[in-house]
Each structure stands twice: as structure tokens, then as C-alpha cells.
């Protein structure tokens, strides 16, 4: 990145997101589904349930259970093949995805049952967990699940002292000091449901970054909202 110019290596402004596109209802077998694309990162999400949970000992009679599974397709990464099956990385991402979605759900609605969210990424650049959360939130809405709000997510970060929204893979792997901060917000209340950080920032930088995250998540939210409305407006419901 050129320090003296406002532009980033891919020509974006500091607060500019990569191009976003989204679709809902793309997987017929699922109760709800969505695709969310940001830059070259593509996430598919499918929701099954609420449905009965087996084995029975896993059931909770006071509330339903949310299960998320994040999975990179074996050919989706730059570099080596991703070995199929859970890794430490994917297990952690599955967990934080669950926690990012839980605050908007009311699991007491379906005791003993399970709500399954499956996220698969066919192509990745950067910001895969955030793209997955965006897709999952849309898939949950598509599945008619009771939700207090949507969830919108993006990575914000500091690259050599500059605050940037939606880091690309190139920026993430820049020489020098890079801080990467995936965040998820509930757009209505502006609260955080996902926060992680790798790097090194001051408290002031952190708060600035979070404020930027909240701001750009509103842009993501508008895409999510428009896509959901468009499907049900019937004008493009059967389009493929």
C-alpha cells in the first residue's frame, strides 16, 4: 500500500468494502439458505430446523440448541488443499459463529430441538468467518426463525498505522504491523456479537476500529435486507 495515497492496493478507499452480492433460497432441501459474497470470498449457508435432536441425551428441555459448522471446501484456499474434516481453526470459527448468532435468537421457543447452521465456502480470500456469519443470518431469516435482529459482520483492521475496513488477503499478509479484527454487529442496536483481534493496537485505535466496523456493517445490512425483501417480493423468487 502506498502510504501517501488515499488508495489501497486494490484501489479502494480506507472505509470502502469490497463488492458485495447476495442471494437467498439457493438450496431447496434446506429450510433456509443464502449465499453472501464479499470480494473473492464466497460463503453458502443452509439452515435446517428447528428439528428433533438425537441422541436424546443431548436435548435440553428448557431451550433449543444452536449448532454451527464452518467449513472451507478442500479447494477453496489459496495455497495447499484444505484437508476435509474439522481442524482446530474451523472448530473455533464454528464456535464464535454460534456465539455471534445466539444473541438474536430465542432458543426457548423450541425446547429439546436443534437449529443447525451449515456454512460452506467454495472460494476464499479474507474475511471468511464474517462472510459466513452474514450468510447464516440471512439463511436464518429465510428459514422464518424468530430473531430480534439481523447480524452483519466484517473484518476491520490496522495496516501499518492505517485504519481499514474489510481487509483483503493481500492486506492481511502485508509486511509490517497488521491488526485484523473480525467483528459482527446487530444493526438495530449496534451491539457487538463477535470480536476477535490478531495484531497490536492501542485502546484508542481499537475504539476507532469498532466504530468503523459498526458503520460499514450498516452497508452490509442494507444488502442483506434488500436481498431478503427481493426474494419475497416475488419478482425474482424463482429466478436462477
Partner 1 sequence: MGLLVKDKDIVVPGEDLAIGMDYLPSYGTFREGDGIVAAKLGLVSVEGRVIRLIPLSGKYLPKRDDTIIGRVVDVTFSGWRVDINSAYSAMLSLKDATSDFIARGSDLTRYFTFGDHIVTKIINVTSQNLVDLTMKGVGLRKLDEGRILAVNPYKVPRIIGKQGSMVGMVKDATNCRITVGQNGVVWVQGEPENELRAVAAIRKIESESHISGLTDRIKAFLEKGNSKE
Partner 2 sequence: MMNRTRSHMLKFFEKGMRFDGRKLDEFREVSVEYGISKNAEGSARVKFGDTEVMAGIKMSVEKPYPDTPGEGNLMVGVELSPMSSPDFETGPPSSGAVELARVVDRGIRESKAMDTKQLCIEKGVKVWSTAIDIVTINADGNLIDASALAAFAALKEAKMPHYDADAGAVDYKKKTSKPLPLSKVPIAVTVYKVGNYCIVDPTSEEEDVADARLTVTSHGGKINALQKGGNYPLSIEDIEKMVSLSMKKAQELERYL
15-34: which residues touch partner 1 (CB under 8 A)? 31-32
**Given 22, 39, 50, 131, the residue binding partner 1 (CB under 8 A):** 50
Does 146 bind partner 1 (CB under 8 A)? Our answer is: yes
Does 116 bind partner 1 (CB under 8 A)? Our answer is: no
For cell 468467518, the residue is 129
**Given 1, 73, 147, 201, the residue binding partner 1 (CB under 8 A):** 147
C-beta separation of 76 from 124 below 8 A: yes
The grid coordinates listed for 71 are 467449513
C-beta separation of 151 from 133 below 8 A: yes
Omega within 30 of 0 (cis) for the link into 14? no
Look at residue 191 and give the partner it binds from partner 1, partner 2, none, a contact being a CB closer than 5 to 8 Å depending on partner kind.
none
What is the distance between the terminal CA atoms of the chain, rounded to a whole angstrom? Answer: 39
Does 13 bind partner 1 (CB under 8 A)? Our answer is: no
Binding mask 68-107 toward partner 2 (x if CB under 8 A, else -) reads: -x-x-xxxxxxxxx--xx----------------------
At closest approach, how far in Å is the CB of 129 from partner 1?
Answer: 21
Cα separation, 5 vs 43, whole angstroms: 32
Nearest-CA neighbor of 136 among 82, 193, 84, 216? Answer: 193
Does 133 bind partner 2 (CB under 8 A)? Our answer is: no
Does 144 bind partner 1 (CB under 8 A)? Our answer is: yes
Could you tell me the CA-to-CA distances from 96 to 11, 25, 89 in Å, in that order? 31, 24, 11
Dihedral angle, C-alpha 90, 217, 204, 173, nearest 10 °: 50
The dihedral region occupied by 60, where left means phi > 0, alpha psi between -120 and 50, and beta the remainder, is beta
At closest approach, how far in Å is the CB of 136 from partner 2?
Answer: 11
Give the binding range for partner 1 (CB under 8 A) out of 11-19, 37-45, 145-153, 154-162: 145-153
What one-character DSSP code corresponds to residue 15? T
- Under the rule (CB under 8 A), what is the footprint of partner 2? 26-30, 33, 40, 42, 44-46, 48, 51, 69, 71, 73-81, 84-85, 116, 118-120, 122-124
Residues near partner 1 (CB under 8 A):
31-32, 49-52, 61, 104, 110-113, 141-150, 186-188, 224-225, 228-229, 232-234, 237-238
Amino acid at each position: 500500500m502506498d502510504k501517501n495515497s488515499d488508495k489501497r492496493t486494490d484501489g479502494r478507499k480506507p472505509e470502502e468494502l469490497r463488492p458485495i452480492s447476495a442471494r437467498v433460497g439457493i438450496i431447496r432441501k434446506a429450510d433456509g439458505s443464502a449465499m453472501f459474497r464479499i470480494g473473492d470470498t464466497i460463503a453458502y449457508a443452509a439452515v435446517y430446523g428447528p428439528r428433533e435432536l438425537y441422541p436424546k441425551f443431548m436435548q435440553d428441555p428448557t431451550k433449543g440448541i444452536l449448532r454451527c459448522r464452518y467449513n472451507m471446501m478442500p479447494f477453496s484456499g489459496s495455497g495447499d488443499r484444505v484437508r476435509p474434516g474439522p481442524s482446530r481453526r474451523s472448530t473455533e470459527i464454528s464456535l464464535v459463529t454460534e456465539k455471534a448468532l445466539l444473541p438474536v435468537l430465542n432458543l426457548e421457543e423450541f425446547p429439546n430441538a436443534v437449529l443447525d447452521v451449515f456454512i460452506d465456502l467454495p472460494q476464499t480470500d479474507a474475511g471468511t468467518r464474517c462472510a459466513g456469519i452474514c450468510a447464516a443470518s440471512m439463511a436464518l431469516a429465510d428459514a422464518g426463525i424468530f430473531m430480534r435482529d439481523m447480524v452483519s459482520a466484517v473484518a476491520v483492521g490496522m495496516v501499518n498505522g492505517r485504519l481499514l475496513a474489510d481487509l483483503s488477503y493481500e492486506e492481511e499478509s502485508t509486511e509490517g504491523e497488521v491488526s485484523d479484527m473480525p467483528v459482527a454487529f446487530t444493526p438495530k442496536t449496534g451491539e457487538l456479537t463477535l470480536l476477535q483481534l490478531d495484531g497490536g493496537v492501542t485502546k484508542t485505535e481499537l475504539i476507532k476500529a469498532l466504530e468503523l466496523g459498526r458503520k460499514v456493517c450498516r452497508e452490509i445490512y442494507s444488502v442483506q435486507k434488500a436481498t431478503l425483501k427481493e426474494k419475497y417480493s416475488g419478482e425474482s423468487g424463482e429466478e436462477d
